[in-house]
Each structure stands twice: as structure tokens, then as C-alpha cells.
Chains A and B, each alone.
Chain A
């Protein structure tokens, strides 16, 4: 099985920029990299999606190197409400069935 790995947890102070990385060595050629945010007792919520290079929206930026074997979610100036678990989602070309793999999740805690 392909492995999609992320740091288990991160702490940050309010107002700081947070960068969360995801390693996905076997990403499928045609698959995108998507990041989700999940609060307790809720389904994941879309943050940002990209294929290569850099993507930016009103809440985050996504950096993807040329080999696409990793990606970095960047959250500018985090607030207490950003405390959540963050997941990356990519496809796995080795599985053959184009399975979708979530990362292990990174629990971000924002400290006042």
C-alpha cells in the first residue's frame, strides 16, 4: 500500500504562519493533492487543492515541488479557531484501482 505521511501534531501561537507537510511518494500522474480540515464530530471540510507548483486561496496556500512527492499546506496567521486535524488526500498509482489515500492527519493546536 502506498504511504501518505504527515506529522502527528503541531503547536503554534496565534498569529503565526503554520506549514504542514505531507509525503506521498507514489502519487498518481493524474491525481490532485487536496487538503481537508476536520473538527471533532464533523466531516472533513475542503481547504485547498492543487496539481503542481503553488496554489493560493483566501484561507491557505499549497506548495507542490516539481516531483510532486510531497506537498506543504501553509496557513497564514492562524487563530484559535484553526485548531483542528488537517489531512492531505492523494491517489495511489501502485494500487491500480486509483485508491484515494488520506494522510495520517496532523493535529494542529493553536495557543493563545
Chain B
């Protein structure tokens, strides 16, 4: 079956703009989690959605938000972009929270 897909793969924005990233989970998976990966901070958990509800949230400011649709597809939004938001944003899907997560290839966001 098809893996997790993320769009776009690369994105360049300027400070102050906002951005929306998209994630399509593996068919049948209802849990979608988002992570930020940077060289300095490593992999950091952003939030997790299950059945259209945010179930868990990491320690990120309110500029980072997300949602999940009825077909389990998820989007994350970052408003008022800062230079420090430049990172690889990874989406992962799983059947349930403690199940194996399958990661997408990520969206590399560069903020200028």
C-alpha cells in the first residue's frame, strides 16, 4: 500500500508569512503525528491527531497549529514565520498511538 505522503517537499518563505503543510497518512491509519527536525534540537514532537481530534501537543508556541480531516489527512499551519522555524517537518501515521509509526519524507521549510 502507498506510504505517507507530504506536500510540498520543499518550501521557501519569508519572515512573517504563514505556511500550510499537508500530510496524507497510510490508508486505514487514524493517528497522525507531526515532528520538527533541526540540527540543533533534533526531532521534536509537535502534535498528534486521532479521529479529527488533537490528542497530544508538544511544547511549541501557538503559532503552530494543525487539524485533521474526516479522511485522516492532516495539515499543519505555522503563522508569523520566524527564521528559527526553518526545519524539516515530518509527518507520521499509525493505526493507534502506541503502534509503529510510518514516516513521510518530510517537508523542508526554509524561512528567509
Contact = CB atoms under 8 A, between A and B. Distances in A.
Main secondary structure of the interface of B (DSSP, over half): strand
A100 B56 contact: yes
Interface in B53-67: 55-59
Nearest to A47: B100
Interface residues of B, number: 23
Contacts, number: 53
A contacts with B: majority SS: loop
Contacts of B57: 97, 99
A103 to B, nearest CB: 8
B25 interface: no
A46 B106 CA distance: 16
Contacts of A41: 105
Contacts of A95: 59
Interface of A: 1, 30-32, 34, 36, 41-46, 49, 87, 89, 95, 97-102, 104-105
